[in-house]
Homo-oligomer: A and B are copies of this chain.
Amino acid sequence: MNVVNESPRRKELIRQAAQLFVQEGFDRTTVRMLAHEMGIKSGSLFHHFRDKQEILAAVIEEGTYNALTLARQALAECGDSPNERLHAMARAHLETLLTDRNAHVVALYEWRSLDAKAREHLSHLRDAYEELWERVIDEALAAGLIEGDRFLVSRFVMGALNWTVRWYDPEGVHKPEDLARELVSMMVSSAAT
């Protein structure tokens, strides 16, 4: 079973599970809560998923796949300058994280709840997404847009982005777009602009 050919029904169940996992955390979310959210009884849940782990794996696959897809699309549609590409990546990342506000968050914050097998299976998808980021960071470094250690800079950026889920208020004045702009301008050496 792959993320690209899930039934619409299953996709909807995964969406609802993601919401609960974000609100409560994976461990505190019971199968009874999941079933209730889905409008069925807990026994019926196991017709759709082998066990609770499989639900988590499905959510994380969905979240990472969405992030990867949106990022690729954003890069394809934006301009060629390192600045534009950096901004496009940050914006896409924040949009899957804050607007859709579900599966991608779970992918980031519950990765360690995955068992070894699921981690193995999903690591490729995750690596593909991280490679996309590394390429864009490298381009920005090569162009002198930003400075510093490749490894450290990319992790600081990911940290700043991923931590937003802890404080971002969807009802507030800022949009993901604004955050992306502000973060990129913070990183960019003023000398280079």
Question: Across the two chains, which residue of chain B brings its CB closest to A159?
Answer: B163
Contact B27 A28 (CB under 8 A): yes
- Nearest-neighbour CB distance to chain B for A168, whole angstroms, equals 9
Q: Which residues of A from 69 to 128 have beta carbons under 8 Å from B?
A: 112-113
The SS class assigned to the A binding surface is helix
| Binary per-residue interface labels of chain A (160-188) against chain B in the complex, 1 for a CB within 8 Å, 0 otherwise | 11111011000000100001001101110
CA distance A147 to B189 in the complex (A): 11
- Nearest-neighbour CB distance to chain B for A177, whole angstroms, equals 13
CA distance A183 to B158 in the complex (A): 13
Q: Which residues of chain B are near A1, meaning CB under 8 Å?
A: none
- List the one stretch of A4-12, A43-51, A52-60, A148-156 in contact with chain B: A148-156
Central interface residue in A112, A156, A164, A182, by most chain B CB within 10 Å: A156
- Nearest-neighbour CB distance to chain B for A116, whole angstroms, equals 15
Contact B190 A189 (CB under 8 A): yes
Contact B164 A163 (CB under 8 A): no
Contact of A186 among B153, B158, B162 (CB under 8 A): B153
Residues of A within 8 A of B (CB): 25, 27-28, 112-113, 146-149, 152-153, 155-164, 166-167, 174, 179, 182-183, 185-187, 189-192
